Structure 1
């Protein structure tokens, strides 16, 4: 028995020595399969229904051989520095394996189906700069320990999950943070006060939660802040002074809370700010006269508050203004004549106030798309605003709502001069006379063919012509009449594919609202976008009416998000070009004509290239090579060309008198010669941030790489663009 115990002691000692030896080996050579082991352990905890991680092989000596999908390494240290698995349809829980990746700089698991909570040790990786877990189904409370050691952290996104409980107070100690996005969760309680004094922060999005309390004093410390949104929470109290010290602010969204008091006077210092929304609060007092000093404003939404008094005349100084919404307040008086200077104004909404008088003539001489003045009833009557329109030639007005007022007089035939009018609401007034026939319903008596007349044609492409029309309910739509040849012939096949496309929804995609099928006529019915095509804005604009840098960047980012969503849905666009990017009345981009290749009987590259031959300059080189598979990377190429087109204002291919200039080659040559700034659209007159414009052009060139595998995924493109807009150290990799 004693010999047995002695042998057991020897055995246990050998086991202990062996474990000690393993620890010693690991300490001497920490790179010994640490990255492989960590990633394989992580993979074991999740489900990968599409086999995206099939290339992760536990028998590999290193994860840095180039074959591991979604993994990037530092070529010098041969260690994993980035794990990007965006949109891989992964599910399961985030295990502890990632903690072994001690050189990891970026972790992005966005847009998957991951569940469970966050491991408290995830942010303790010494070199970690970017954590993006957005767009999953993660839940539970976020532990204080998650951000207890976060010295190197630059970007945190937990958006679009199901997190609850309080925001960890330790987040306010992450002094290097440049971007925080906790939007679309169920966080409750107050926002940690130290978050409001993070001096390096550029972007803060806490919207769509259940947050309470007040914004504390001290926000003037956030000198680098560009964008802040706390919309759709339960915040209360007065908004303190301090935002006016954040001179780089471009966007403020405090909408749909319970803020009260007046607008802080130091807002007037924010001359770069282009977007302010205070809608749906309890602000009171007058709209301040100093609002006219915020000359960069493009959107001003003060709707559904308690503002009183008259619209200040200084509004006329806001010459970049595109959308003005004062609806649902207690404003009185009439619109000031000075607003005739707001020549870029597209949407004006002053409905549900107590305003009086008639609409000034400048409303009908402007380029407004929508004018909403309904429900401004006061005692007495107003003269009809339509009395003096006989001499006007109004081309752009699409929606005119004068309902529930006290307008009187005759409806004159001059209303017929509103040649673009789609919706006219004169209900509940004291007006008389007939509505001119030019504004009535179109003639549907000839069936669907009556909709498709030449006068209503918006454009033509490889898949057919597009027409605008107004349905019986006054709803304006765009109808694509498909070219029947080469398309799916059976109604069953057509309906199956179209219904799939109809389920694709994204704020930057043109919505497919319906279809019509007969053997001889096939129609797709889309939402109508009043802003027209991006091509028109870039190449057919006149005078000073052209896109600003901020508008161009937003178009680029919105288009990238649309394509990323399509690719996540396993849809390749195949036909990216500026005529297929449309703008709504607010200037937001929407990508159209997506998925039409699904209507071809087979994805034959000859038939496909003939359908998109009008996209000269956008077509990826693999279309000409039979041995190269056509993937979503062809969209990335077209997007890269589009980016260069937007930044330079030049077409992808320019035909000169004795030469042909290819845009990609021109920009690439200018970059090599160190004069890339000369390529930026001269109409901007130098009014652009070089720290954004130049990286955007470099990104465009990377997307137009001749080798498909060298082009980034669209999810990566979105991340890069967001880093360019709100830089962090992650931008070093782009440089």
Structure 2
């Protein structure tokens, strides 16, 4: 016997008397306004194979007795206010971290949050390690002092050799105009040795900047050109139209130097920059298959959608793009020190390479973006549909959760094939997240799917849509972290 009362705005506590429904097999109470604790009596419903209490306001611990529900095939208590240690029963542990995410006060496996006892034990081990290390350091002080002069000399020599090996080119004259025009004097810095180092090669390559046929796109900070050298190598050259909050060459070079140190397979690689008093360029790898926006909304989409396999950008490829982009953002948010925020995530900034892997571009441009310097400009960007509400307010209290919001919109865009904001009529504006939420609550779920998709598992699409809605919550604290988003997406394929 199933009981599905999800999405009904139910209030109050879960009744203790549900244990009388001996033959109950499904209890779905998710997305209500229930509070109080999880009744221990639910453990008596031994025939349950589905228990979903997610997206409520439940508090207190998870009863360990629920581990006796041996027939459970689906269990979810995510996005409540539960606390305490997650029971160690294998029946519950098998559902992974996504079943418990969104409860900041929960701790223990399978979440990464350590409980108090575990932290204390780790702290004790850490103290012992520190004491031992300190003793070793004390023993080695005399040796280090004796070797200081020699080490300093060797290090200075290595630094000098490193500077000679580094591909830094200061050009005497790089002309981007026709012969006879005034040349532009500036500094060209390369982060890779794969690019040409001769002046003649760059003189030829930079002709792209005055060739309209080489124009490949534009964005919030500048125009992008494809520059090709005589050896056939192509790069993307972004000609900046704004420096945002940067005021001089030193600040610009510092920002670009930090970008050159970032490395992830799902990030577009920065390859260098150029500075002059009148022009600034950013050099990066050229990604062959264009942007996600091109595939979802551009001219190519009509040709792809004729294929019986669901088009060149099939669901499998779309999912890989979503997961790759999430991994890139998780790297920027959690692995980089200092943390790198994107603040301009949209489908046109997600590139696709030959293997249909995602390559996130325009990251690390926080200080270049005009949207952070003007409230009025922020409001105009909000109309596009990607920008989080806090970025369109006078306070501009942005954080990594602002990126999560924009990524959530991209997830909805990937599944539906619709733009974040569409205007079917002169005075009508359809906001994608509102459209999806309404259909999932009151309509047929498949109405949300892109009609060109074929050969997909419906449950996967629905889970990605729900994740997109959670990511686009108006309240930043209600949005998951990008690490949690990656875990959830990985579990979608594992469990399907």
Q: TM-score, normalised by structure 2?
A: 0.57
Q: Which residue of structure 1 aligns with residue 319 of structure 2?
A: 553
Give the counterpart of 2:247 among 464, 489, 492: 489
2 CA distance for matches of 1:528 and 1:646? 23
Q: Is this contact kept in 1: 2:332–2:341, CA < 8 A? A: yes
* Alignment partner, residue 663 of structure 1: 432
Secondary structure at the residue paired with 1:507? coil
Structure 1 residues 680 and 523 mapped into 2: Cα distance closer, same or farther (>3 Å)? same
The DSSP-based 3-state class of the residue aligned with 1:509 is coil
Q: CA deviation at 1:485?
A: 5.3
8 Å CA contact 2:342–2:403 kept in 1: the answer is yes
2:371 and 2:381 in contact (8 A); partners too:
no
| 1:490 to 1:447, Cα distance in 2 relative to 1, 3 A | farther
C-alpha distance in structure 2 between counterparts of 1:700 and 1:571, whole Å: 22
Q: Which residue of 2 aligns with 1:682?
A: 451
> Which residue number in structure 2 is paired with residue 423 of structure 1?
none
8 Å contact kept, 2:244–2:373: no
Matched, 1:704 2:472: yes
| Rg larger for | 1
Residue of 396, 403, 406 corresponding to 1:635:
403
What residue in structure 2 maps to residue 79 of structure 1?
61
Q: Distance in 1 between matches of 2:55 and 2:422?
A: 40
Could you report, residue by residue, the CA deviation over 1:140-184 in whole angstroms, capped at 9, with x for unpaired residues? xxxxxxxxxxxxx9999xxxxxxxxxxxxxxxxxxxxxxxxxxxx
Distance (whole Å) between structure 2 residues aligned to residue 508 and residue 495 of structure 1: 24
Where does 1:161-176 land on structure 2 (aligned, <5 Å)? none
C-alpha separation in 2, matches of 1:552 and 1:102: 38
What are the ranges of 5 or more consecutive residues in structure 2 without an aligned counterpart?
A: 1-53, 64-82, 98-108, 113-198
Aligned to 2:418: 650
For the Cα contact (< 8 Å) 1:129–1:155, is it kept in 2? Answer: no
2:487 pairs with 1:719: yes
- The Cα shift of 1:519 comes to 1.0
Task: Indicate the RMSD between aligned Cα atoms, in angstroms.
Answer: 3.4
Spell out, residue by residue over 1:538-568, the C-alpha distance to the aligned partner (whole angstroms, 9 max, x if none): 1121233441111111111111111111112
Cα displacement (A) at 1:602: 11
Counterparts of 1:63-462 in structure 2, within 5 Å, are: 78-79=60-61, 103-104=85-86, 127-129=92-94, 445=203, 448=206, 451-462=209-220
Change (3 A) 1:558 1:485: closer
Structure-2 change in CA distance of 1:154 and 1:595 (3 Å): closer
Distance in structure 1 (CA, Å) of the matches to 2:449 and 2:365: 33
Structure-1 residue corresponding to 2:258: 500
Does the C-alpha gap of structure 1 residues 471 and 664 become closer, same or farther in structure 2, counting only changes over 3 Å? same
Which fold has the larger relative contact order, with Cα–Cα distance below 8 Å and residues 6 or more apart in sequence?
2
Residue 591 (1) aligns with residue 349 (2): no
C-alpha spacing 1:446/1:527, structure 2 compared with 1 (3 Å): closer
Considering fraction of residues, name the structure with more helix. 2
Aligned to 1:625: 393
Could you say which structure has the higher strand fraction? 1
Consecutive unaligned residues of structure 1, counting only runs of 5 or more, are: 1-71, 82-100, 106-122, 133-152, 157-440, 729-735
**Cα deviation digits, residues 310-330 of structure 1 (max 9, x gap):** xxxxxxxxxxxxxxxxxxxxx
Q: Which of 505, 513, 530 is residue 288 of structure 2 equivalent to?
A: 530
CA contact (8 A) 1:502 1:512 kept: yes
Matching residue of 1:512: 270
Look up the SS of the partner of 1:598 in the other structure.
coil
Could you tell me how far apart the structure 2 residues matched to 1:447 and 1:538 are? 31
Deviation (angstroms), 1:479: 0.5
> Contact 1:576 / 1:638 at 8 angstroms: preserved in 2?
yes
> 8 Å contact 1:566–1:572 — kept in the other structure?
yes
Summarize deviations over 1:695-734 as a string: whole Å, max 9, x none.
1100001111111111111110000111111129xxxxxx
Deviation at 1:660, TM superposition (A): 1.8
Cα 1:80–1:655 change in 2 (3 A) is same
In structure 1, distance between residues paired with 2:364 and 2:377 = 12
